[in-house]
Amino acid sequence: MTVEQTGDLGKLLALLDVERRDEDVFIGHHPEQVTARTFGGQLLGQGVVAASRSLTRGNPPIHALHAHFIRGGDVTKPMEYHVDRFRDGKSFANRQVTAKQDGEEIFTMLVAFQDNTAGLEHAVEIPQVPYPEELPPLGEHFKGYEDRIATFVNALHPVDIRFANDPSWKAKEAGRKLTDNRVWMKADGVMPDDPVMHVAAMCYASDTTVLDSIITTHGLSWGIDRLFAATVNHSMWFHREFRFDDWLLYATRSPVATGSRGMGSGRFWTRDGTLATSVVQEALIKYFPPKK
């Protein structure tokens, strides 16, 4: 089934639909709404699509990815994704994807594909939070903070995000520290049936709130406190199939921050409580407290 989408979700789907320039070279573009450097979720999503389109035997689903961010991408130029084929079996496949600009490596990622077969089954339970219909849309949390968090307000919003707790700027104002951050997420519209696009959209969204718990553990907020953050590495494990146009709960926390680096870990559950995906991200993160 082909689904035509407009608005910010349409922009995301177009963004993820990388162009094939050569057998193992793909071109990805940037959106109109850009930040100082290429958004990490964009690199993850475009890289996943490039890796998937290089498969030649069977069509195993994506099992895991491990990415390292090397340089900040130039948002005024397209990105080249070079795919190396490490293994190409019917049930297993492995790819390395390297994003380049002007001959320099921006990002590299290993992507593993594996068919799902029957085996032992267990998983941690979904946290108990209100359902997304009971929670306000993200725009409600922006009101009164538009100037201080303009980067977030003016960003691309292809994903419907419902915070089950206060976002960092509201927690900061209330003087609260949060060790856990929990948000419901789904594409802001219907997506095509291609499961790769659902994985790519989740990759994009996984980079939006995973670092929040690093700063909220200390009672800090994006846009209000002087903070610098840049992703160093990002890993994801896809346990079960899902649709990203259905609600998923993304629960994140930070197990450690040290050496100017912080780690965020997260899990995506489907609405019925099925654990779909696990995420770990490490970032360079610096706080510049106000001078006394």
Q: How far apart are CA 279 and CA 237, in angstroms?
A: 7
231 as an active site residue: the answer is yes
Q: Is the pLDDT of residue 253 over 70?
A: yes
- The span from the CA of 256 to the CA of 210, in Å, is 13
- Would residue 281 show up in a list of annotated catalytic residues for this protein? yes
Which of 235, 231, 158 shows the shortest CA–CA distance to 197? Answer: 158
38 is catalytic: no
Say whether pLDDT at 241 is over 70. yes
Query: Tokens 């960003």 appear where?
Result: 155
pLDDT digits (tens, 9 = 90+) for 163-202: 999 999 999 999 999 999 999 999 999 999 999 999 999 9
Pairing of strands 25-28, 248-258: unpaired
Q: What is the pLDDT of residue 1?
A: 39
Bridge partners, 283 (sequence order): 231, 262
The DSSP annotation for 119-188 comes to -----PPPP----GGGS--HHHHHTT-TTTTHHHHTS---EEEEESS--HHHHHHHT---SEEEEEEEES
Report residue 203 as tokens.
């990759």
Residue 243 has pLDDT above 90, yes or no: yes
Q: What is the mean pLDDT of the chain?
A: 94
Q: Give pLDDT tens digits for 25-45.
A: 999 999 987 778 999 999 999
* Catalytic, out of 108, 216, 277, 281: 281
Architecture of the domain whose range is 7-116+137-287: Beta Barrel (2.40)
- Which residue is catalytic, options 38, 42, 108, 231? 231
Domain residue spans in the chain? 7-116+137-287
pLDDT at 8 over 60: yes
Of 8, 160, 207, 245, which is the active-site residue?
Answer: 207
